[in-house]
Every structure is written in C-alpha cells, then in structure tokens.
Amino acid sequence: MARTQTPNRVRGTQDIFRDEQRRHAHVLNVFERVRALYCFERVDVPVFEATEVFARSIGETTDVVSKEMYTFPDRGGDSLTLRPEFTAGICRAYLTEGWQQYAPLKLATSGPVFRYERPQKGRFRQFHQIDAEVIGAAEPAADVELLVLADQLLRELGVEGVTLQLNTLGDAETRDAWRAALVAHFEAHRGALSEDSLKRLDKNPMRILDSKDPGDRPIADSAPDIDAYLTAEARGFFDAVTAGLDAAGVAWTRNPRLVRGLDYYRHTAFEFVTDRLGAQGTVLAGGRYDGLIESLGGPATPGVGWAAGVERLAMLVEPVDAPALDVAIAVEDDRAQSAGFQMASKLRGHGLSVELVATGSARKRYDKAIRLLAGETWSLGHDGEQVTRRHRVLGGDGSIVRRLLELED
C-alpha cells in the first residue's frame, strides 16, 4: 500500500515554535502591559467581515483591496473577506454596536491578519499585528498619546535603531490645494512617469510621492511640499503634536514625503522605521483618519491609530529564555504514579511550575529529570510498602517543595 503524502504548510504561513514563539509571545505580553498603562481597553473583532467593510474603508484602488485580500463567497452567497488589517473592523463595530456612547474610546487589539502577497523576510500571508486606536477625539493630544505609547512599547521591547518619521497631511482645505498642485506637477511630467504612477495620477496622486520606480524618483522629489498649502489651523495642529512629543521626550524627524493616499486621512501621518530589516524597514505606522467612519456610513467622527507587525518586532528583540522550571519529578517506579500526580498537583496549586517525568523507561526517568535543570529535582520510588522520596537541589535552599508539602499535610 502506497504511503499517504503528508500535506505541506501553505506558502506564506508559519508554524511558530520554541524561540520564535517565545519572541512572539514576548512582544504580545509587553504590548498588553504597556497598553494597560495608557488605559487602552482591549477589544476583539471578527477575523472576517463583509467585503464592503474593507473595500469602502481601505479604498477600491489600493493594492490591498485590488490584489491582496482573501475574499470568498460564503454558502449564503455573501462576499466575505479575511481581515487584512484591524482599523476597518473596529470602526464598523463602533457604528454597529453602539460604541458611540463611550466616545472618546481608546482601544487596543492583536491577532492574525491576512494578505495575499509575495512572502519575504518578516512578511507572511497570514501574519500578526498589534493595533491601537483612539476614536472620537479630534484634538492633537490623542495623536501625541498614541505616539508616546508606541515609543514606550518599542523602548520596553529593547528595539534599537528606530526613528520616528512624522508628517502632516493637513486638513481638507490643505489637502485639496496640495492635491491640485501635485496633479499639475505630475501632468507636466506625464511622459516620464511609470505605468503604475500614471494609474495613480487620476485616483491617488499622492501615492506617486512614495513610488519605488527609479524613473519616478526625480519627478517625485521635485514635487511641491505640503507646507506651502497648510492652513493656519492645520499648521497649528501639527505644531501641537510636535510640541507634545517634545514635552514627552519622544525624538522625531520630519519626512515631508510621508503620505497616505486616501482622502479620509488628515493631519498626522507617521512611521517608526529601522535599517535593520533591509528594504522593509517600517516596524510601526499609522495616522489620523478623520473621514474613515463616514466612508462606512457613519457620522463625521475623528480617529487616529497605528498598527505594527508582531513578526517584524520579534525579529528585532533579543532572544527570550525559556521559563525557568521550579520542580522536576521523576516517577522511577510505576507504583508511585498516583503519588507523583498528587505531588505535582499540590505544587502547581502553590504556583510552582512542575514537569512530571512519568513515561518512557523507568530506569532513565531520573536522569531525564536532572537534565531539565529544575530548581529542585525529586525522585519517587517504591520500597514495596510505601512511596520513597529523594531530591537534588540546583538552586534555592532545598526546602521549597518540602515546606509546601508540609503545608498540605
């Protein structure tokens, strides 16, 4: 009979184990701790939504919607999409679940997201993000708090060599004037633009500014800056954000070419970037999206948020040691199995981590337990009438287990 072939892991996915899993968990644990310091509530939203949630919020013309989403019909004929990011689903929930009554809301979440793209270093088709949002606060203080949170998160993770790049996209009046100037500039160089940039010229001219095509770069670099079109209100908003960052001790640098292509983006845009990940140097990014909830059919509602890839952050943190083992118990005689289970249960009830070595060759169990390098190693045998105990201590005073067992007796 032919041997059945084992299915392979799907391309662009990953099985996270041992060192990688510890790094991954470390990022999430630090994120949970830091978001709590800033009083961001934990929220969880569905892993899939109606396709229109993402099409309307992310934008039909974006690569994410047009090329990267995992979209499928369910058995009822509805079009569903695995989430490619968190913000759209959170904003949908804000509207459909009546969360407006709690505004302003500070929310944080984490979990898997899905994009069909070419897998590369730190980038997968199923990957994980952490996400923080403030919905219902129009003041620059919300932008500052999100940025300070992100800065503290990266510092507590020990991520070095990261720079906060900051820009303003202005208010609606600023954006309209700047967009018109950009269109005029790019139209004057239409013949030299790449095919992708020509497509963007009609729908997303700001995206040409971050084109990676070498032929586009001289044209993009000579395009007019937004500063010439900033209204007094827009300039005041950006000044308030930078003053807040300075007061909080967060270093930043201005990047006037940092843009967001969709019309609902306003004011602050930012990225934390590093040179330690090659060309894919962004580790955390976000901005203010004051028009997004309107695109989902809601009232005008301010919002600002950021997201970061867990895998990329995990690549930048130091190796994480496996948790120290408190006690190893070797059951060297199967007649002592019940005593082993009882002893392990008592110790775990007192908050100690316990590895019970009760399988495999009975003669080798104690040696196996010793190799676990626990703080205390115990062996349970049987003299024909009762269970016998002996122990070896690698750390501590040797009496932890004995004291706890005496408490139970």
Mode of pairing for the β-strands spanning 303-309 and 48-50:
unpaired
| Beta pairing partners, 71 | 81
Residue tagged 């892993």 (tokens): 47
Mode of pairing for the β-strands spanning 387-393 and 41-42:
unpaired
Per-residue pLDDT, 57:
82
Centre a 10 Å sphere on the Cβ of residue 102 and count the other Cβ atoms it contains: 14
Our CA dihedral for 196, 274, 310, 105, rounded to 10 degrees, sits at -80
Say whether pLDDT at 32 is over 80. yes
Output the average pLDDT for the chain. 91
Give SS3 for 161. coil
Could you write out the DSSP letters of every residue in 39-96? Answer: TPEE----SEEEHHHHHHHH-TTSHIIIII--EEE-TTS-EEEE-S-SHHHHHHHHHH
Say whether pLDDT at 123 is over 90. no
Per-residue pLDDT, 398:
61
The predicted model gives 226-233 an average pLDDT of 95
Percentage of the chain exceeding pLDDT 90: 75
Closest CA to 220 of 241, 244, 196, 239: 196
Strand ranges for 289-402 from DSSP E: 303-309, 327-331, 354-357, 376-382, 387-393
Burial class (CB in 10 A: 0-12, 13-18, 19+), 206: buried
Q: Which two tokens stand for residue 405?
A: 């067992």
Per-residue pLDDT, 404:
72
Helical residues (DSSP H) of 188-231, grouped into ranges: 195-203, 217-221
Our CA dihedral for 230, 235, 241, 244, rounded to 10 degrees, sits at 160
CA distance 127 to 115: 8
pLDDT band at 51 (very low <50, low <70, confident <90, very high): very high
Distances (CA, A) of 393 to 7, 323, 378, 387, 402: 45, 18, 9, 20, 12
Distances (CA, A) of 88 to 9, 76, 254: 29, 23, 27
Instruction: List, for residues 83-110, the tens digit of each pLDDT value.
Output: 999 999 999 999 999 999 999 999 999 9
Per-residue pLDDT, 293:
94
Strand ranges for 121-255 from DSSP E: 126-135, 162-168, 253-254
What amino acid is encoded at 77 in this protein? Answer: G
The predicted model gives 311-328 an average pLDDT of 94
291 compared with 364, residue with greater pLDDT: 364
Mode of pairing for the β-strands spanning 266-274 and 282-288:
antiparallel
Say whether pLDDT at 204 is over 90. no
pLDDT band at 158 (very low <50, low <70, confident <90, very high): very high
311 compared with 394, residue with greater pLDDT: 311
Closest CA to 40 of 111, 107, 137: 107
Instruction: List, for residues 260-309, the tens digit of each pLDDT value.
Output: 867 678 999 999 999 887 665 899 999 999 989 999 999 999 999 999 99
Per-residue pLDDT, 202:
80
Say whether pLDDT at 39 is over 80. yes
CA distance 178 to 195: 22
Say whether pLDDT at 20 is over 60. yes
Percentage of the chain exceeding pLDDT 70: 95
